[in-house]
Each structure stands twice: as C-alpha cells, then as structure tokens.
Amino acid sequence: MIKPALDKTEDDLSSMPIDRSDAQLFKACQKGGQDAWEHLVDRYQRLIYAIPRRAGLTEEQCADVFQEVFLVLLQKLDEIEQPERIRSWIVTTAKFKTWAVIRAAKGMYVPESDEEMQAEMSRIADRSPLADDVLIELEQQHLIRAALKMLEERCQKILSMIYLRETAASYAEVAEAVGVGETSISPLRSRCIKKLEKILSK
C-alpha cells in the first residue's frame, strides 16, 4: 500500500529536499529510486487529496483515490513520455478517479477508458466540484506550497503562520515564533513574499 505522509507536520514536510524538479524525480523513479518515489508521493499528496475532498468524497474515498492515482502512475512509469508534465498527469488522473467514484456511488455507468471518461467529464457543468477553475485553483495552491518550501526556515514560518493557517496568526504570535520584535514582521513578510514571487516566476 502507498502510504501518504499525512501524519507529518508542516515543519516535517518543509524539511524535505525539494531542489529536484518533477522531471528529475520521475526519471529517478523510472530507475527504481525509492527515495525519489517517496518524495514524489510527499510532494503531491496534498494536491491529490484536495481534488476528491472538493468533490465531497469521504476521507476513506479520498484515500482510495490517492492510492489509485499512484498505483496507476507506478504501472505507467515506462509509458509516460513527458515527465516534466507529471503534475498535469496527476491532476487529470485524480480528477478521473474522483469522477468514477461519484458515478459508482450513484449507480451510474463508469467508463472503462480514459478517453471515455474525458468525453464524459467534458459534459459536466462548469459549477461542478471538478470544474477546471477549481482544479486550476488547487494546482496554484500546490505550486505556492512547493515554492514556500524553497525559502529559508524563517520565511516559511512567517508566511505559513499568516497565510496558510485556517485562522491567520497575529503579528505578535509570529514575532514570538521567529524571535523578533513585532514591528519587524511587516517588512519581513514583504521581503519573504518578494522571494516567493521570484521563485514562482521561474
């Protein structure tokens, strides 16, 4: 069974090596690199889980989608010709697997091939939980989190506490966490955001 690292904390995840590109990780996976495979799973677990969650599936169903996405990827390691586009492949596969679960739960026919599934999903209304704009939003969130992990630890902590928590931390809380005066947080936040924007623009 492919195990997600959902029990890891934000600090644990941010300490993982992220200097390797998707294509480099994928090529290492093709050569049997277990370490590369684990990093690829860690890198995309949040994004994959987010897709079925946004579609209203249960935690158990989300876990099933996660497992199926990576099982299919494992089966197709030698067939994927554009490793640099692995993120798009993962998103599309998670989307198809999610839609298959929704159809099965409603007692509807589940297309056997990706081509059938793609044709079926093209007829879904834009307000569907699997609409393209939702998937774009999820991908953007994924890219931001990946870029955030490329910043130094202090910037990671500042931006995570202010922007990635369900309830944003106050400047006083952030200042205490990073060991600076409260008045320093605003300029530090601005500098960290500029660094993040530079990474995202590459």
| Domain boundaries 10-131, corresponding CATH code | 1.10.1740.10
Q: Which of 187, 177, 184, 137 is nearest to 157 (CA)?
A: 177
> What CA–CA distance (Å, rounded) separates 201 from 143?
11
> What CA–CA distance (Å, rounded) separates 60 from 36?
26
Question: What separation, in Å, do the N-terminal and C-terminal C-alpha atoms of the chain show?
Answer: 35
Amino acid (one-letter) located at 32: G
pLDDT tens, per residue, the chain with 202 residues: 555 544 443 443 333 444 578 888 888 888 888 888 888 888 888 888 888 888 888 999 999 999 999 998 888 888 888 888 888 888 888 888 888 888 777 766 655 666 665 665 555 544 455 555 666 666 777 778 778 888 999 999 999 899 888 788 999 999 999 999 999 999 999 999 999 888 877 6
Sorted by where each begins, the domain ranges of the chain are 10-131, 151-202
pLDDT for the residue 8:
42
> What CA–CA distance (Å, rounded) separates 147 from 6?
19
> What CA–CA distance (Å, rounded) separates 14 from 85?
23
Tell if the pTM clears 0.95, that is, is over it. Answer: no
| Domain boundaries 151-202, corresponding CATH code | 1.10.10
DSSP per-residue letters across 140-201:
HHHHHHHHHTTS-HHHHHHHIIIIISSSPPPHHHHHHHHTS-GGGHHHHHHHHHHHHHHHHH
